[in-house]
Amino acid sequence: MLEIKNLSFAPEGDKQILKNISLTIPDGKLVVLTGPNGGGKTTLAKMIAGINMPTSGSLILDGVDITDKDPTERAKLGIGYAFQQPVRFKGFTVRDILNLANGKPLTEDQLDEVLLKVGLEPKAYKDRDVDTKLSGGEIKRIEIAGVLLRKSKLTVFDEPEAGIDLWSFNSLISVFEELRETREVTLVIISHQERILSIADEIMLIQDGRLGMKGPREIMYPLICGDGCESCPAMEEGDCYGRDN
């Protein structure tokens, strides 16, 4: 379980990017973080991965305070992060970066398997360079493949759908669904995609640096993707998840 307590981030002093966010990511769940561009989702994800350090507040992973731990330590504690904007490396092939992600050299079969999972034809990609010659969608899928290999306890995928074609996206959805079914890993997916929202256990809305509404998919999905409050079952029960929850 990851507990985020009163997390704030103001890198330049006055401009608050994250404003006192508190939330809990339960084990074995698929949690989707959604909300408008610039709302602070990536900033929060980088804070979970240890790339950004908070101005105040804390992060607790399975009861251990990880607020001061660096990205390497957090990776070793079981946190994974698939970047929204994947990084390119001159001189690295797809094989090289996936071997690094895996921590030891992959067999050909393992390499093929993970590439197929993200919709890449292994033969055509294994030995290509991870440089500017790859398209946005290609590098994105390699990024996701690397993070999948790590089998982290908790993984944050930052807009995995971006730049990906429909075929690969379908394949990716099944990967997320399969992982979710095992209930052995925790998935945090930052997304605007209805298809991804529809497989969430919980949905949280991050807006203007704050946690807006949050709740189970059954309640949140119709609010976000359906007819708003009219279609929300909580309306009838007088149990609104909005605003101050």
Partner 1 sequence: MEEIIRDQQAAGTAAESSVANAAADMAAKIFGGEAQPNAMAQAARVLKGAPEEAPAEQPAEPAKPVFEETPVDVDSVTAKLLETVANFNGTGFCGAFNIRSNGKSLGRQSTEHIHIDTKTDNPGLDIHIAPGTRGEEVYIPACVTKAGYDDLVYNDFFVGKDADVVIVAGCGIHTETGEPARHNGIHRFFLEEGARVLYVEKHVGTGAKGPKKVIDPQTECFLKDGAYLEMDTSQLGGVSSSVRKTRATLDGKSTLVIKERLLTDDDETAETFFEVELNGEGSSVNLMSRSVARGNSHQAYQSNIIGNTICYGHSECDAILAENGRVDAAPKLSANSEDAQLIHEAAIGKIAGEQIMKLRTLGLTEEEAEAAIINGFLK
Ligand X SMILES: Nc1ncnc2c1ncn2[C@@H]1O[C@H](COP(=O)(O)OP(=O)(O)O)[C@@H](O)[C@H]1O
In the bound complex, which residue of the shown chain has the CB atom lying closest to Mg ion?
Answer: 42
Q: In angstroms, give the least distance from the CB of 55 to ligand X.
A: 12
Q: In angstroms, give the least distance from the CB of 44 to partner 1.
A: 15
CB neighbourhood size of 202 (10 A): 20
Interaction of residue 39 with ligand X, rule CB under 6 A: yes
State the sign of the Cα–Cα–Cα–Cα dihedral 13, 18, 19, 23: negative
Residues 65, 87, 108, 177: which binds partner 1 (CB under 8 A)?
87
Question: Which is nearer to Mg ion, 117 or 140 (by Cβ)?
Answer: 140
Specify the 3-state DSSP secondary structure of 180.
helix
Residues 2, 32, 41, 101: which binds ligand X (CB under 6 A)?
41
Residue 148 binds what, of ligand X, partner 1, Mg ion, none (CB under 5 to 8 Å, by partner type)? none
Residue 11 binds what, of ligand X, partner 1, Mg ion, none (CB under 5 to 8 Å, by partner type)? ligand X
Q: In angstroms, give the least distance from the CB of 242 to ligand X.
A: 19
Contact region with partner 1 (CB under 8 A), list: 59-67, 74-82, 212-220, 227-235? 74-82
Following DSSP, what letter does each residue of the chain receive, concatenated?
A: -EEEEEEEE-TTSS--SEEEEEEEE-TT-EEEEE--TTSSHHHHHHHHHTSS--SEEEEEETTEE-TT--HHHHHHHTEEEE-SSPPP-TT-BHHHHHHHHHSSPPPHHHHHHHHHHTT--HHHHTTSBSSTTS-HHHHHHHHHHHHHHHT-SEEEEESTTTT--HHHHHHHHHHHHHHHHHTSSEEEEE---HHHHTT-SEEEEEETTEEEEEEEHHHHHHHHHSSGGGG-HHHHHT---STT-
Contact region with partner 1 (CB under 8 A), list: 16-24, 76-84, 191-199, 237-245? 76-84
Instruction: Give the strand pairing for 2-9 and 202-207.
Output: unpaired
Interaction of residue 40 with ligand X, rule CB under 6 A: yes
Residue 81 binds what, of ligand X, Mg ion, partner 1, none (CB under 5 to 8 Å, by partner type)? partner 1
Specify the 3-state DSSP secondary structure of 45.
helix
Contact region with partner 1 (CB under 8 A), list: 117-125, 191-199, 202-210, 232-240? 117-125
Interaction of residue 17 with ligand X, rule CB under 6 A: yes
Distance separating alpha carbons of residues 189 and 82, to the nearest angstrom: 10
Question: Which is nearer to ligand X, 85 or 245 (by Cβ)?
Answer: 85
Positions that interact with partner 1 (CB under 8 A): 49-51, 70-72, 74-76, 79-81, 83, 86-87, 89-92, 96, 100-101, 103, 119-121, 123-124, 135, 137-138, 141, 146, 150, 165, 167-168
Positions that interact with ligand X (CB under 6 A): 11-12, 17, 37-43
